[in-house]
Structure formats: C-alpha cells, structure tokens
Amino acid sequence: MLYSLSKSPTWLLFLVSILPILMGDFGLKLWAVSIVIICVFFSLWLFVIAKHLLIKVSSVQMFNFRKFKRVLITAAIFTLLLSTNMAFMNDNGLFAKWAVVVLTIGQFALLYCYIFILNFVAKSIATVELQKTANFEQYASYFFCLFFFPIGIWFLNPRIKALLRKASR
C-alpha cells in the first residue's frame, strides 16, 4: 500500500502541492484542512521514497534513517499543530499572545527540519544514481527541485520512478 505512493503520478503531486493556493479563497478552516492533507500525504511520500532508495544504496556511507524518521515526524506534527492553530486562532486572550511567540520560535526548528529532509532525500537520490556517496555539488539540483517543489517535481518525479524501477529489477 505505502509503496504505491512512490508510483504517484507527477500531476497528482503537483496538484496536491498547490492545494492551499486553490483552497485559500474558501476560508481559513478549509485552508488548514488542505495543509493537513498535504502534510500527511507528502510525509508518507517522502518516507516511502527515502526508504526504498536507501534499500538500494550500496555505498560506504551509512545514512541515518532513524534521524530522518524523527525529523520527518517532528516536522509533520509541528505543521499539523501550526495549521490547527491557524484555523482556530482567536486574537483575544493571553494564549494567543504566547502562541505567537512559541510558533515563531518553532518556525526556526521547522526550517531546520525541512532543510534536513530535503537534503536527505536529495542526497539519497544522487547516491543511488551515482552508486557512490554524493557531495552537495552532485545533488544540489535535486535539492533545489525539492525546495521549489511544484515546479521541480516535474523534473524529479520521473527520475525517482526510473531509479526505483531500475533498482527493483
């Protein structure tokens, strides 16, 4: 079941990634629901992609998949909390003032999480493709395709599918 996420068509990944833009005019609660859907879908997608790519790695470098899982779960939980807070935020009260402080500080942790996740997946793709440990120059294009996801997925998803197909033979 989860493995089928790695076979997701590129147009579906693109549509899911722009869902908040499409749902923005329908209210904050619906926008928050779209963020939750996206967060769950892409967390599972990234997990499956990374797991199946790392199975194929025969390089000397050992990837820290446990740390990747922890960071991915942390980022997903914080994103879910953030979108829930945005949907039900009330400008009155002491909680709203402290929530802004906590969420602002948490944004820096979330930035680290996303950079780590993108770096991990991009390096995994390059390592499987090159069959050796990749340095940043070798996987920078994958990193930036993931960073600018709605555009970069059109270039990256076919390559990921090809690597998984080639590696499964």
DSSP 91: S
| Total domains in the fold of the chain | 1
134: amino acid identity, one letter: A
pLDDT, tens only, 62-118: 578 889 999 999 999 988 888 777 766 665 666 666 777 777 888 888 999 999 999
Could you identify the residue written with the tokens 């990837």? 63
Find out whether 145 and 156 touch, Cβ atoms under 8 Å: yes
More confident position, 68 or 27: 68
Find out whether 128 and 56 touch, Cβ atoms under 8 Å: yes
How confident is the model over 43-51, as a mean pLDDT? 89
Per-residue b or e along 71-89, where b marks 16 or more CB atoms closer than 10 Å to that residue's CB: bbebbbebbbebbebebee
More confident position, 21 or 128: 128
Q: Is the pLDDT of residue 29 over 60?
A: yes
Phi-psi sector, 135: left (phi>0), alpha (psi -120 to 50), beta: beta
Domain that holds residue 120: 2-168
